[in-house]
Amino acid sequence: MSRDNLKYEPPILCISCGKPLSEIPDSENFEMVDSAVVGTLEAGYGSIHDGSTLQIGICDDCLGRHLTARRVKVVKSVFGN
Ligand SMILES: [Zn+2]
């Protein structure tokens, strides 16, 4: 995921459960999301969506379940968790 040009474009729904995700009040962009993660995916060659930049979000509850089930992998963490 890239944070380049990330802009709050509501409504963003959790890709897993559909719950609406909300921006933390007074934040200037969608990097600061209440109990969720929002980011962008760059579709590359091989995908029928090649050339598209996609915005997706997932709530912390669903992300935790996907991490436990190893459907999502942490590739970097500045906090070491
Ligand atoms: Zn969810």
Distance 21 CA to ligand 1 centre (A): 9
- Tell me the average pLDDT across 50-70: 96
How long is the chain?
81
> Strands, DSSP E only, in the chain?
12-13, 20-21, 36-42, 53-59
Res 9 pLDDT > 70: no
The Å distance, Cα 68 to ligand 1 centre, comes to 14
Q: Residue 13: its pLDDT value, please?
A: 94
> Which residues have CB atoms below 5 A from the ion given as ligand 1?
14, 16-17, 19, 59, 62
pTM: 0.77
Q: Is 61 helix (H, G, I), strand (E, B) or coil?
A: helix
Q: What is the C-alpha to C-alpha distance for residues 53 and 18, in angstroms, rounded to an integer?
A: 20
Domain residue spans in the chain?
Answer: 12-68
